[in-house]
Chain A
Amino acid sequence: MPSLLGIATGLGAAGSVEHVATWVISLLVLAAAIAIRVAWAGRRGNSDLRTLLRATVPAAWFVPAVAIVIAVATQASPSLGPRQAPTILSQPNSPNALPSITGHSWTSQSLVEQDDSGRTLVLTPIASKPHATAKEARQEALQLAAMRLKYEVERVYGHAGDWELSGDSLDQQKFITNEITTTRPYKLSSLAPSSEMYHCVVRLEVSDASRNWASGYWKQSVGAGRLKTIGTITGLLCLLIVTAHLYLRLDIASHGTHRGKLQLAAVAAVAAAGLVASTLLSA
């Protein structure tokens, strides 16, 4: 995301669409501001062109200030896509065949149950590929379980932004209801000697509770970043309003004596804040 400074100096690789949108919106704001001011002046009986134009000038400073805010908002907009409506996503296939482990029937099939409050939960086994060590096998099984849970969150709440749910975060969670690691002899080729390889199978609980737990990570990673972006834009907007108020207050108090200086100061303040906001967003 190029910063406003980059755009202004031509150093950033800003998309042309962003530029066009900024310019279009800025020009529309300019046109609207002039139209409102002229209409207001006309309403008060001042209808000759010179009077109307003179009445328009005091409002003109607001246009570059608003344009700066719009430019920053446009810069941030790609990261602020709303949630897409939940759709039927393709379930991530477990690439690994479920091993049948004697005495552990849960490793070979999913089970649909109801929790204490009568809500449905699915207990599904997820198996790792064969690994040289038990630790590696377990890590893969947990990672696959995390992927499955991420899919469940997006299936229910919709997709928004890029986020990750690590297998490590599932470790020691109550949503892994069962876990078993076994060894099996594997031969890489007919010539090679067979060796023991480790399989890990975990049983994941897919329920409201596990989805809520996982959605916390979703909100933490995606939401926090967006919160920062929206906070920055809102702060800039608030500054624009406070600046406009102070400008009007001082202008009225000084009977327009220092109007030009006040307009310059107001635009400078908003521009400075815009550059800071843009830099923050591009960081």
Chain B
Amino acid sequence: MSSGKFTFAPESTPLAGFTIKRGIQRGGFGEVYYAISDGGKEVALKLLHSHVEIERRGTEQCLNLKHPNLVSIIDIKEDDDGDTWVVMEYVSGQTLDQVLSENYPNGMPVDEVRSWLDGLASGVDYLHDRGIVHRDLKPQNLYRESGYVKIGDIGLSKIITPSQRGAQTESIGTIHYMAPEISRGEYGPEIDVYSSATIVYELLTGHVPFEGETAAEIINRHLTDQPDLSPLPRNLRPVLDHALAKDPAARTQSLGAFLTEFDDALAGRTPHSPINPPQPQPTPEATSVPVAQATEAVLQAPGSVVVVGSSHSRPGQAPIRRPRVFFPEDHHGPLAPRNISFSQRALEATAGMAAAILFTGLLASAGHLTGMFGDSQQSAPLTAVAFGLTTLLGAWALLVGTKAWEGTGRESLSIRRLSLLLLGGGVGAAGWWLHQVLLVNLPPLAESQTAGLVDSIGSLELVRNQQPTLAGYVMFFALLFGIRRWWWHTDGFRPKRLRVLSLLLTVTVSWILGLVLQFPLAAATGWGLGIAIVVQLSAPWVAPAHRRARLQQEGARHA
């Protein structure tokens, strides 16, 4: 699922004979639409955007495949503009990804896993029997409709021939399911076995075997780490160990064999073939170079597309050209591109703002009760209210400012910072006004703040009579909002609801700003901490286990 608008609006007819009803998916290689033919048949139309010839060749090879577990490709057509369209069977059922997220976030029952594996093995073996490797098996590409498991996106499949195996091709894969040998340019049918075993592992446990914070870390783990089999049922561990072997030669050789081993293990039978052959240690040329290259590539290209690979040959083989592999950098983090509708943004922003009222009230009350605002009966309540209202305004500004750009990826980072900077200035002005209206003074400057630091910018005084001026307030809040990456506090896909490290970092930044701008340190750190706590507690948060489902929903709503 990717962000961005679709080329064609509903009810448009770019391809003769079909009326587009809605967009379904948009990826690096095209757009998929749900459409109705003039005769009334529901179809999925895939518009090829890039690498059209490669895509077209791959699709043509699959054009006449017929199997109940494969999403059928009906035809390939060109429109009046010369664009290529693939007409496919439309599958309306849920993807395995959705089923897992919504119904089994902690893993499926073994019987259910077995039924998915059955359809998967049947469809993939059918492809392999015809010399085709799917290359992109993942839960998002598996559907169930009318009881049948359907394997989709076979347009990426490639013919296995000696000349083409490992030849220059392009693949868009998901690194969580990617076999280690792909980094060496090997695209044998074993990679589908590895991906399927990874899927089965995820179905049984609710998580993939190799997780990591970055693409580089996940690649590293695929290449070097042994999967942790302890969460699996004891009898299935050898089966998964066999299918997840690093060396394709040592791996289970087909999905059919994998299914048989799976069934044998469940029935407590002795396997027909040894399933635990000694695992050869990864050779230097098989691991170290790709790890280094992959890691380097990820570090050098922080965007959403990472290019891995260069010429590399195995002993005894002619040099092969490594395919380029595109890795989405961050699927489920604060910078993940998402299709969030206007109403959904408004809903989440107002939810956060409403919750912020509660949390700010609690924070200010706690501060008042603990004597943080002094013990004067006249001034302490006013100070508490002025602090609380400024905190609330700051939290609201951040919630609205970050929610407006949520899901827009890295492209909007500059405009995010600029908008937050401006909003911070507004909050500063409002905070100054509140303190003037409520007759509240901030605590006096600390002794360490009186010498050698900025107290004016040009003719603009930041401090007067030990109190920040309007310019002082505006500068402090503008910089606090502009410097910190507040979307890590408020994004629905942030790592945790409340991150103590972020709070500490925000307090540190506030303290430094207080020192630089001669803003009273107690007030500076108090606001930094208070606003950070309130926005993190208030901003809606999607648990990692539910993020895939959320992305699917957003994609469907967007379409």
Contacts and interface: CB of A to CB of B under 8 A. Distances in A.
Contacts of A41: 342
A215 to B, nearest CB: 8
Given A219-B378, A241-B350, A230 B6 contact: no
B433 A82 contact: yes
Interface in A62-80: 80
A43 interface: yes
Interface stretch (B103-111, B434-442, B479-487): B434-442
A35 B72 CA distance: 45
B5 A160 contact: no
B346 A244 contact: yes
A220 B378 contact: yes
Nearest to B353: A241
A136 interface: no
Contact of B5 (A43, A215, A223): A43
Interface in B316-368: 342-344, 346-347, 350-351, 353-354, 357
B439 A248 contact: no
Interface in B95-144: none
A218 B439 CA distance: 9
Contact of A82 (B6, B381, B392, B437): B437
B355 to A, nearest CB: 9
A78 to B, nearest CB: 12
B385 interface: yes
A251 B346 CA distance: 12
A40 B382 CA distance: 41
A245 interface: yes
A251 B396 CA distance: 23
Interface string A76-91: 0000111101100000
Contacts of B460: none
Contacts of B350: 241-242, 244-245, 248
> Majority SS of interface residues in chain B?
helix
B4 to A, nearest CB: 9
A186 interface: no
B342 A40 contact: yes
Contact of A216 (B347, B379, B385): B379
B354 A223 contact: no
Nearest to B344: A252
A193 interface: no
A135 interface: no
Contacts of A215: 378-379, 439
A44 interface: yes
B389 interface: yes
B346 A86 contact: no
Nearest to B5: A45
A230 B378 contact: no
Contact of B379 (A80, A158, A219, A226): A219
Interface string A207-250: 00000000111111011001100110010001001101100110
Given A216-B376, A252-B347, A241 B433 contact: no
Contacts of B385: 227, 230-231
Contacts of A82: 433, 436-437
A230 B389 contact: yes
B389 A83 contact: no
A160 B347 contact: no
Contacts of A227: 381-382, 385, 438
Contact of A83 (B344, B436, B464): B436
A168 B558 CA distance: 71
Given A40-B342, A45-B6, A86-B465, A248 B437 contact: no
B363 to A, nearest CB: 15
Given A157-B439, A230-B434, A251-B343, A245 B389 contact: no
A169 interface: no
Contacts of B6: 45
A157 B436 CA distance: 10
Given A43-B5, A245-B350, A248-B347, A80 B382 contact: no
B301 interface: no
Contact of B354 (A83, A216, A230, A242): A242
A203 interface: no
B437 A80 contact: yes
B354 A245 contact: yes
A37 interface: yes
Nearest to A79: B437
B477 to A, nearest CB: 17
Nearest to A158: B436
B429 to A, nearest CB: 11
Given A223-B382, A238-B357, A37 B343 contact: no
Given A234-B389, A244-B346, A248-B343, A160 B354 contact: no
Contact of B438 (A158, A230, A241): A230
A46 B347 CA distance: 22
A245 B354 CA distance: 8
A86 B469 CA distance: 13
Nearest to A45: B5
A245 B351 contact: yes
B439 A223 contact: yes
B9 interface: yes
Given A45-B6, A218-B439, A248 B378 contact: no
Contacts of A44: 5, 558
A46 B342 CA distance: 13
A222 B439 contact: yes
Contacts of B351: 245, 249
A242 B5 CA distance: 31
B558 to A, nearest CB: 8
Nearest to A160: B439
Contacts of A238: 354, 357
The list of the 4 closest CB pairs from A to B, nearest first, reads: A82-B436, A245-B350, A216-B378, A45-B5
Given A45-B9, A216-B379, A241-B353, 17 more contacts: A37-B342, A58-B343, A82-B437, A83-B437, A160-B436, A217-B378, A223-B438, A223-B439, A227-B382, A227-B385, A230-B389, A231-B385, A234-B392, A238-B357, A241-B350, A242-B354, A248-B346
19 contacts: A45-B5, A45-B9, A80-B437, A86-B465, A157-B439, A157-B441, A215-B379, A219-B378, A223-B439, A226-B439, A227-B438, A241-B350, A241-B357, A242-B354, A244-B346, A245-B347, A245-B353, A251-B343, A252-B343
Interface of A: 37, 40-41, 43-46, 58, 80-83, 85-86, 157-158, 160, 215-220, 222-223, 226-227, 230-231, 234, 238, 241-242, 244-245, 248-249, 251-252
